[in-house]
Structure 1
Amino acid sequence: MLDTTDAALVRELQRDGRVSYQRLSELLGISREAARARVQRLLQHGEVRIVGIVPPAVAGIEAVAHVSLDVSGPSGPVAAVAAGRRATSFVSCTAGPHGVIAEVRVADAAALEREFAALRAAPGVRGLEVFRCAELVRDAYSPEVAGVRPGPPPVLDEADRRLLGLLQLDGRASFAALAERIGLSQPATRARVLRLLEVGAVHVTGLVESRALGVREAAGVGLGVLGPVRAVAEAAAALPGVNYVATGYGRFDVVCGLDAPDRSALLTGLEAVRGLPGVGRSESWFHLGIVKESYTYDLPIR
């Protein structure tokens, strides 16, 4: 578990992964050297990773689906196959109606169908149940506020794509290091990075190892909605502990992800989601083991 100062530091890194040590010093009331030492310790121990999160639309991801896999026998081997697919961003072995849950993110509907075919062909899979996402209202690690619809993705050139790819790996990479990798001057590189941040092409944030935050329980819930779907999705996104909300079509109208420090808090969160006005039915699943969670994308140079 993080101490009070580390927890406050992590919150600032989640807001802005490139925040300066001087600014952290001012915000936390500690010396610049102490702020630097604490950040380095968190990074070295693997409790925090600073990465650039690129929105799916910016990366050319237009098709997202939440897939429930009906498994015959142990779920681990099926989860391993799903996790090995480059298109999966999240894979979990679950307690619930299905043995494995996966999220697939690809460029278009044709690519989505290819992923479904590959998952159906995996040994031990008896069938799939698909929730096709229409809109990600709250994405994991997204800085967007519920209810604010993003504009069209910005136009990127080759240097922008190279920068985004590097920031996905190391969100705190210096302007000098980035400039050397992409072959531009340091001032030009700095201007590009600041522009990419300003237009929302990337959000640099701190990804925190769950147990360092005391998060030990995670679940998902699918909702059938009576009335306007977007209103329910926005209300769910505003609830404590809800880290993912998508609207779509299939068996559910809305799918949510939740996490909590213990089983009691997780139940409280689930009850809050189930009790939202407009929810007609719900189905939940408990994540016994998260096998894969990755929100980085290939950004090919044209």
Structure 2
Amino acid sequence: MESTEVEAAMVRLLQSDGRMSVKELATQLGMPRAAASRTLREMLESGAVRVGAAIDPRVAGYRFFLHALVAVDGPVEAVARSLRDLPDTVFVASLAGSHGLAFEARCVSEAAKAATLARVREIPAVRRIRTTSYTEILKGPFAAAVAGPEVILDAIDHALIAALEVDGRATYEALAQAAETSVSTARERVSRLLRARVIRISAVERRGVRNTQLGMGVGITGNDQHGKLASYARNSRYIEFAVAAYGQFDFIVTVVAPTPAELHGVLEDLRRLVPDGEVDAWMQLSMVKESYASAPRSAMRLGVAGSGADVA
């Protein structure tokens, strides 16, 4: 395989298991262990790929999921920093188009969601906000129902999750030091968190016009009466996230591909699936914030089952 093909294949393996050993990566890719180690190190050190932990938002206590497009008067950088610093935002990106920014917020209550929107409206230069609330996560790290026994998080678990968010491939020695515990305890706790599906450790490719992967958000207004759109989203290798929603859009998907031609192909497919609907798209120019590991302080008891986002 060419080097770019090897890197793409390695990313796919790390998306399924971010802590897959170098030995297993080399075996899966059919290459020498030293070469696999070098390729992985180069991708991580360049920042092209990041491996980190994300916590299941539902079992962490989040019940309200909000996506918003933000129109800004003038440059967007200062507004982007303000959105990044809001505690409930997990994703902020600068965009091309009439809306200069997009963000996702996860909130524990309707009141918290309303408060977040109020704080956004108070940011200087924010002119307009188009909001969409999620009703079902169709595709994403935690689209499936959570299974398993109840899990209670303590300070050690929170410290481990925080460390794994920064470096999902951190050694157990480093994790033990971060959580001020023993290596054996760190190993057992991480294994428990993964088995209970409280966290998922996965690779994320850096997206934007300056990186190897291009990102595009798509908002769809229309009826998926026969489920063809949902099926396409779940099975497309280019769609990394998809939700059913209400508000500005009925569906929102995130498309990631290395070339504009591939993005265009997915967009055309989506248009064919909703011929009587409307499809709006926005290019992600740069990622300002992408952090999914934090849980609200009140969310200590985990293991709640659910297949979608709870909304008012």
The answer to whether 1:264 aligns with 2:261 is yes
Contact 1:97 1:285 in 2 (8 A): no
Aligned counterparts of 1:296 and 1:288: Cα–Cα separation in 2: 18
* Residues 182 and 25 of structure 1: CA distance in aligned 2, closer, same or farther (over 3 Å): same
Identify the range of structure 1 (245-254 vs 43-52) with the bigger mean alpha-carbon deviation.
Answer: 43-52
Secondary structure of 1:127's partner?
strand
Matching residue within 174, 178, 197 for 1:177: 174
Contact 1:75 1:99 in 2 (8 A): yes
Contact 2:147 2:196 in 1 (8 A): no
Contact 1:246 1:254 in 2 (8 A): yes
Contact 2:93 2:284 in 1 (8 A): yes
Matching residue within 263, 285, 294 for 1:298: 294
* Residues 81 and 291 of structure 1: CA distance in aligned 2, closer, same or farther (over 3 Å): farther
Matching residue within 228, 241, 245 for 1:248: 245
Deviation at 1:82, TM superposition (A): 2.1
Name stretches of at least 5 consecutive residues in structure 2 with no aligned partner: 301-312
Alpha-carbon RMSD:
2.9
Identify the range of structure 1 (93-102 vs 7-16) with the bigger mean alpha-carbon deviation.
Answer: 93-102
Secondary structure of 1:273's partner?
helix
Contact 1:247 1:255 in 2 (8 A): yes
Aligned counterparts of 1:8 and 1:245: Cα–Cα separation in 2: 22
Identify the range of structure 1 (223-232 vs 107-116) with the bigger mean alpha-carbon deviation.
Answer: 223-232
Query: How many percent identity over aligned positions?
Result: 28
Task: Kindly provide the amino acid, as one letter, of the partner of residue 283 in structure 2.
Answer: H
Aligned counterparts of 2:188 and 2:201: Cα–Cα separation in 1: 16
Q: Name the structure 2 match of 1:199.
A: 196
Aligned counterparts of 1:194 and 1:93: Cα–Cα separation in 2: 36
Aligned counterparts of 1:150 and 1:279: Cα–Cα separation in 2: 35
* Residues 238 and 253 of structure 1: CA distance in aligned 2, closer, same or farther (over 3 Å): same
1:67-216 to structure 2, matched below 5 A, reads: 67-139=68-140, 142=141, 144=143, 148-151=144-147, 154-158=150-154, 159-210=156-207, 214-216=212-214
Aligned counterparts of 1:62 and 1:136: Cα–Cα separation in 2: 12
Deviation at 1:294, TM superposition (A): 0.8
Aligned counterparts of 1:168 and 1:155: Cα–Cα separation in 2: 19
Deviation at 1:95, TM superposition (A): 3.8
Aligned counterparts of 2:125 and 2:197: Cα–Cα separation in 1: 41
Task: Kindly provide the amino acid, as one letter, of the partner of residue 157 in structure 1.
Answer: L
Aligned counterparts of 1:180 and 1:39: Cα–Cα separation in 2: 24
Q: Name the structure 2 match of 1:12.
A: 13
Deviation at 1:243, TM superposition (A): 1.8
Contact 2:59 2:198 in 1 (8 A): yes
* Residues 45 and 288 of structure 1: CA distance in aligned 2, closer, same or farther (over 3 Å): closer
Contact 1:224 1:280 in 2 (8 A): no
Task: Kindly provide the amino acid, as one letter, of the partner of residue 289 in structure 1.
Answer: L
TM-score (norm 2): 0.82
Aligned counterparts of 2:30 and 2:228: Cα–Cα separation in 1: 40
Deviation at 1:213, TM superposition (A): 7.5
Contact 1:229 1:254 in 2 (8 A): no
CA distances 1:11-44 after superposition (whole Å, capped 9, x unpaired): 2222211111222232223333333233223222
Secondary structure of 2:86's partner?
coil
Q: Name the structure 1 match of 2:308.
A: none
* Residues 264 and 75 of structure 1: CA distance in aligned 2, closer, same or farther (over 3 Å): same
State the number of aligned residues. 295
Name stretches of at least 5 consecutive residues in structure 1 with no aligned partner: none
CA distances 1:211-255 after superposition (whole Å, capped 9, x unpaired): 798323x32222223254866334323224212211121122111
Deviation at 1:291, TM superposition (A): 4.1
* Residues 239 and 19 of structure 1: CA distance in aligned 2, closer, same or farther (over 3 Å): closer
Task: Kindly provide the amino acid, as one letter, of the partner of residue 6 in structure 1.
Answer: E
CA distances 1:96-137 after superposition (whole Å, capped 9, x unpaired): 453332211222211111111111112222332211112222
Secondary structure of 1:275's partner?
helix
CA distances 1:174-197 after superposition (whole Å, capped 9, x unpaired): 223323433444333322221211
Task: Kindly provide the amino acid, as one letter, of the partner of residue 44 in structure 1.
Answer: E
